[in-house]
């Protein structure tokens, strides 16, 4: 593997952006569970924006770093990773909602934080460009593009309706009772389905295409409003 200083710096940048994105994602789960009445995330120190509380050594650092290095060398499929799952106890949720609805809200909170981050990064990016602070070739210009793209990708990837992804919990909320057994049977193969979706380019389009659509149209819309 022959990588130059620029490629190594970009790989490190990629991992740092991923850590920030994963931190906000997991914080979203913890915060909403806490607001619904479950003190488990709070007792475990998860209602925080500290990356230390949410990062998984293998899933957030080592695997993304290795895969991004191979991708930079032209022999990998790109960075991929995850954070430490937030543990919640749905029995403690407020009775204003059903337990299944509460679980759905908690599941949606993580991806929603990724959308919020994408909008904040894009808005910051467009404003900096409008103020002539950034050039097309500046490093920060590339980093902000990466951050927006990554967070939209995380949003749509996590909504793939396969457990243990967040989309699996959302889908479970709407599965008719008579089909729960079938859904649970399919869920046992969830990790293998997720691996296939990530590693097979044709299947990966299920989250890449909508992420690209949102990325392009968000910048187009902000540009029309602010530039």
* Domain range summary for the chain, segments of one domain joined by +: 5-226
Question: Is residue 2's pLDDT more than 80?
Answer: no
Query: What pLDDT sits at residue 227?
Result: 62
SS3 80: coil
For residue 220 the two structure tokens come to 């187009």
User: Residues 200-220: what's their mean pLDDT?
Assistant: 95
Question: Is residue 147's pLDDT more than 90?
Answer: yes
User: Residues 164-177: what's their mean pLDDT?
Assistant: 93
The residue among 62 and 111 whose pLDDT is bigger is: 111
Query: What pLDDT sits at residue 4?
Result: 78
Question: Is residue 169's pLDDT more than 60?
Answer: yes
Query: What pLDDT sits at residue 32?
Result: 98
Q: What mean pLDDT, rounded, does the chain reach?
A: 91
pTM of the model: 0.93
Query: What pLDDT sits at residue 101?
Result: 95
Question: Is residue 73's pLDDT more than 80?
Answer: no
Residue 61 host element (H or E)? none
For residues 144 and 136, the answer to whether their CB atoms sit within 8 Å is: no
Phi-psi region of 176 (alpha: psi -120 to 50; beta: other; left: phi over 0): beta
Question: Is residue 20's pLDDT more than 80?
Answer: yes
User: Residues 157-186: what's their mean pLDDT?
Assistant: 92
DSSP string, 117-167: HHHHHHHHHHHHHHTT---TT-HHHHHHHHHHHHHHHHHHHHTSSSTTSHH
């Amino acid at each position: 593997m022959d990588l130059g200083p620029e490629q190594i710096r970009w790989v490190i940048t990629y991992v740092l952006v991923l850590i920030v994105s994963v931190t906000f994602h997991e914080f979203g789960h913890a915060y909403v569970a806490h607001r619904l009445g479950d003190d488990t995330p709070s007792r475990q120190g998860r209602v925080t924006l500290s990356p230390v509380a949410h990062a998984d050594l293998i899933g957030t650092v080592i695997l993304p770093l290795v895969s991004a290095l191979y991708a930079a060398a032209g022999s990998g499929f790109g960075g991929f990773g995850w954070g430490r799952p937030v543990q919640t106890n749905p029995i403690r949720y407020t009775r204003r909602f059903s337990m299944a609805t509460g679980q759905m809200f908690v599941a949606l909170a993580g991806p929603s934080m990724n959308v919020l981050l994408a909008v904040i990064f894009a808005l910051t990016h467009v404003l900096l460009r409008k103020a002539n602070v950034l050039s097309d070739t500046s490093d920060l210009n590339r980093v902000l593009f990466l951050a927006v793209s990554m967070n939209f990708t995380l949003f749509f990837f996590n909504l793939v309706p396969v457990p243990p992804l967040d989309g699996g919990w959302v889908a479970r909320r709407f599965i008719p009772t008579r089909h729960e057994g079938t859904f649970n049977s399919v869920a046992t193969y969830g990790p293998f389905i997720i691996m296939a979706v990530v590693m097979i380019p044709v299947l990966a389009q299920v989250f890449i295409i909508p992420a690209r659509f949102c990325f392009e149209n968000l910048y187009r819309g902000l540009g029309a409003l602010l530039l």
